[in-house]
Amino acid sequence: MEVGGKKLNVVVIGGGFTGLSAAYELARRGVAITVLEKEDKVGGISANFKVNGFYVDKFYHHFFNSDEHLIRLAGEIGFSDRLRYAPTKTSVYIGGNFYRLSSPLDVLRFRPLGLVDRIRLGMLVLRARGISDWRHLESETAEQWLIKRCGKRVYAVVWEPLLRAKFGSFAREVSAVWFWNKLVLRGGSRNAAGSEMLGYIAGGFGTMAEILADKIRMLGGEVLTGSPAESLVIENGCVCGVRTSEGTIDTRAVIATPALPIIADLLEGGETKEYIDSLRRIKYMANVCLVLELSKSLSDIYWLNINAPDVPFTGIVEHTNLLPIEACGGRYIVYLSKYLERDNSVYNMNGEELLEFSLPHVKRIFAGLEREQILGYHVFKSPYAQPLIECHYSKFICPTETPIRGFYIATMAQVYPQDRGVNYAVRQGRQAAEIVSGNHGY
Ligand SMILES: Cc1cc2nc3c(=O)[nH]c(=O)nc-3n(C[C@H](O)[C@H](O)[C@H](O)COP(=O)(O)OP(=O)(O)OC[C@H]3O[C@@H](n4cnc5c(N)ncnc54)[C@H](O)[C@@H]3O)c2cc1C
């Protein structure tokens, strides 16, 4: 787009999967694109780091065979051969014991519940799959919906601890829609024999993000890392520039993809107070992951939900039970994941403090773990890891188009009724690009 003989780029703020997908879609249509990414590499929450020379996700990631947007994008950028599937085991830790919860048979054998409650638990998943209109779930909390469908005992033993582990003091506010969606997605990730199958990316999701960034560059776009957007230039209700430490980039359109509170900060000081307040309305949970590089496997479980209030993790994910250990530099990779509020003292611990804090709990669960088996550890934090999906969330969602002309937002908090995930980040980014394209005649 040329204005007064000057070429104006569309600026995409954020080089996670949403921003890169938006930029790729626009670059494919011949639009001049600049992606500004604050960190020194692309990928956002899906970025990677190196373990013994091999790339591994900073935060554990898998995909489902129903993730059509992710799978299609991988095909378009010549990356399909890196998408692989493997059988996985999901379990839950309750009262000092592990219980498998991967298959219907596992549910029938689930000892913490009596037979009638086991059947109610199993039926819940089947019934959830039969629900197609999520709108009538919007007025119920997950707690109300679950108690109604499986009774208080099943809720107290299985679901309440999970909700508390993920949403802390907000657990009772989570909408039934969020929960229903989780049940449907997880229940659907099975092969023909009914076993749980999950997808992984050889080289990690961060490698796919890097390849996507390369494609954008090949199409003539710019992807600038270590380049945070500092604020927006808004004149007469219209965005016309993005300020960075290197100067202002003139633009006709901006797509912002970081979390809503970050976008609100970028807009602060302007004349859009009411809009800024609406962006700050959505609450988020933060996440901290302590990643252990081990010389020995903890168990054969990929995903362990922790239903023990005295254990301070949401889950323990042994990544190398999904992908081969050779892909992780010969080290067993375990994520100790905790969702929490940003002002929680655990979130603010440094690596050493977090390791010291976590080890006694891990050793209690996996008695065989010895200190010398820990070959390395890393800590990654995401301040806005999970939007809190409350009742009637559809009323709070901010649309892609904003009151500021030329300014668009595409973020994980707008993914609904589904929950955030890379598949939906791709969809969100491409949809935003479509809207920008239509509005600006690209
Ligand atoms: C612990 C954890 C596990 C997960 N596991 C899975 C999984 O197994 N499968 C799955 O599909 N999804 C998973 N997700 C969700 C998935 O990671 C996200 O949905 C997805 O990465 C969101 O992408 P995004 O681009 O919307 O946001 P982000 O990845 O947050 O990207 C936003 C980008 O904006 C950048 N930014 C911020 N401020 C500025 C600024 N001022 N200027 C420029 N850039 C800025 C950030 O650095 C970041 O790169 C997981 C998330 C977490 C927290």
pLDDT in tens, 390-399: 999 999 999 9
* pLDDT tops 90 at residue 97: yes
Q: Is residue 141 part of a domain?
A: yes
Tell how strand 33-36 and strand 222-224 pair up: parallel
Give the pLDDT confidence score for residue 4 in this predicted structure: 43
pLDDT of residue 125: 82
Q: What percent of the chain has pLDDT over 70?
A: 96
pLDDT tens track for 369-392: 999 999 999 999 999 999 999 999
User: Does the Cβ of 23 fall within 6 Å of ligand 1?
Assistant: no
Looking at the domain assignment, is residue 191 inside a domain? no
Residue 194: the pLDDT is 64
402 assigned to some structural domain: yes
Tell me: do 335 and 361 sit in the same domain: yes
In whole angstroms, what is the distance from residue 306 CA to residue 162 CA? 7
b vs e for 417-442, b when ≥16 Cβ sit within 10 Å of the residue's Cβ?
bbbbbbbbbbbbbbbbbebbbeeeeb
For residue 378, what is the enclosing H or E element?
strand 374-387
Structure tokens at 320: 């190398």
Residue where a domain terminates, one of 387, 402, 422: 387
Let me know whether 220 and 288 are in one domain: no
Residue 189 lies in a domain: no
Q: Give the ligand 1 atom nearest the CA of 422.
A: 11
Mean model confidence pLDDT for the chain:
93
| Closest ligand 1 atom number to CA of residue 337 | 1
**Confidence grade of residue 9 (pLDDT, cut at 50, 70, 90):** confident
* Residue 21 scores a pLDDT above 70: yes
Q: Is the CB of 14 under 6 A from ligand 1?
A: yes
Answer yes or no: do 276 and 397 share one domain: yes
- Alpha helical stretches, state H, 189-298: 204-218, 260-267, 273-280
DSSP structure class, residue 402:
-
Residue 120's domain comprises: 105-165+172-183
Residue nearest to atom 6 of ligand 1 (CA): 61
Is 161 a member of any domain? yes
At 182-219, the pLDDT tens digits run 888 766 566 666 678 999 999 999 999 999 999 999 99
Indicate whether residue 423 lines ligand 1 (CB < 6 A): yes
Confidence of residue 2 (pLDDT cuts 50, 70, 90): very low
Q: Whose CA is nearest to atom 8 of ligand 1?
A: 61
Ligand 1 center to residue 46 CA distance, Å?
Answer: 6
Q: Answer yes or no: do 111 and 230 share one domain.
A: no
The answer to whether residue 361 sits within a structural domain is: yes
User: Is ligand 1 within 6 A of the CB of residue 253?
Assistant: no
- Tell me, yes or no, whether 292 and 233 share the same domain: no
Specify the CATH number for the domain of residue 339. Answer: 3.90.660.20
Same domain assignment for residues 261 and 306: no
Residue 290 and residue 368 in one domain: yes
Structure tokens at 121: 């638990």
pLDDT in tens, 224-271: 999 999 999 999 999 999 999 999 999 999 999 999 999 999 998 776
Binding site membership of 421 for ligand 1 (Cβ less than 6 Å): yes
Q: Which residue has the higher pLDDT, 361 or 103?
A: 361
> Within a domain: residue 197?
no
Same domain assignment for residues 18 and 45: yes
Q: Which atom of ligand 1 is nearest to the CA of 265?
A: 41
275-312 tens-digit pLDDT: 999 999 999 999 999 999 999 999 999 999 999 888 89
* 214 and 335 co-located in one domain: no
Q: Please provide the DSSP assignment of 304-355 as one string.
A: EEE--TTS--SEEEEGGGTS-GGGGTT-EEEEEEEEE-TTSTTTT--HHHHH
- What pLDDT was estimated at residue 3? 42
Same domain, 51 and 132: no
Whole-model pTM?
0.95
Q: Using pLDDT thresholds of 50, 70 and 90, give the confidence band for residue 37.
A: very high
Do 383 and 404 reside in the same domain of the chain?
Answer: no
CATH number, domain containing residue 76: 3.50.50.60
Would you say residue 216 lies in a domain?
A: yes
Is 377 found in the same domain as 303? yes
Q: How many domains does the chain have?
A: 3
229 lines ligand 1 (CB under 6 A): yes
